[in-house]
Amino acid sequence: MDAASPVTLSGIVRTSESKNVAHPAAKPTESGLLRDCRTRVAPTLNVDAGTGAAEQGTAMTVGLQRRRADHSNSRGSIMEFKGNLMRLAGAGAAIAFGSTLLFGGATSAQAAPVNYQVINGNSSNSCLQVNISGGKGNLVLGKCDRSAKQVWQIAGGIFRNPASGHCLDGNGADVYTFPCNGGAYQKWTTTSGSAKSIRHTQSGKYLDANGTVGAQVVFQPTIGTASRWVIDSV
């Protein structure tokens, strides 16, 4: 290629001496390539050709820093929102737990069992009493004194003496106490009214005593005066 031949670059015509052939009126102190960049390339890129490269770089750096700052602030806001949400959820759980403790809810304690004494209808001062001997307990009438031997808890048809862990039991022939097991022989029903009959569910017989302190408690097939009992809380 001849050294004086013109070189074409994307529509820009210049000589090897950097003189712009297409624009012969160019200032001699400014190269044709620089002026073409100012007049053709800069408008396409929407860049002020009169602004120096250093100023353009500074503007781009400031814009990038602003975008990073905005992004950082956005992430910070999201993290703060998440933190507030987690604290709110924790507070709600604490309130729910406190409400459960205060008002009972599903974990409320069961009501304490009620203690009773069972008074024989033949005497206002003779109470059903258990005397433990071996595996069984003998049932007798004792002078009412609200002692542990005369205290009964009644629930679900079962008479339980909490001091011994025995329940009122019977085999149809004899009545006694036996360690509580929830079996059919430990099930009883009572009639309504102040003076009640106590009926053994398995045998159909009634709890009976003659009212005398120290008398043995037995079964009777029918209801009589000695088969009436008053159940009072103690």
Mean pLDDT on 110-121: 90
Give the per-residue pLDDT at 145.
95
Decide: 215 and 137 in contact? Cβ < 8 Å.
no
Range of 65's domain? 53-107
Residue 158, pLDDT score: 97
How would residue 95 be classed by pLDDT, with cut points 50, 70 and 90? very low
Strand spans (E) along 148-226: 152-155, 158-161, 166-170, 175-179, 188-190, 196-200, 206-208, 218-220
Q: What is the DSSP string of 41-101?
A: IHHHHT--TTS-HHHHHHHHHHHHHHHHHHHHHHHHHHHHHHHHHHHHHHHHHHHHHHHHH
Domains in the chain: how many in total?
3
Report yes or no on 158 lying in a domain: yes
Q: Are residues 135 and 177 in the same domain?
A: yes
Residue 133 and residue 218 in one domain:
yes
User: Residue 40: helix, strand or coil by DSSP?
Assistant: helix
Do 12 and 40 lie in one domain? The reply is: yes
Q: What is the three-class DSSP state of 223?
A: coil
What is the CATH classification number for the domain harbouring 229?
2.80.10.50
State residue 181's pLDDT score: 95
- The 10s digit of each residue's pLDDT in 4-33 is 454 444 444 444 444 444 444 444 455 555
* 1, part of any domain: no
**Residues 89 and 172 reside in one and the same domain:** no
For 193-226, what is each residue's pLDDT tens digit? 889 999 999 999 999 998 899 999 999 999 988 8
pLDDT band at 174 (very low <50, low <70, confident <90, very high): very high
Residues 124 and 195 in one domain: yes
Residue 74 lies in a domain: yes
Residues 62 and 160 in one domain: no
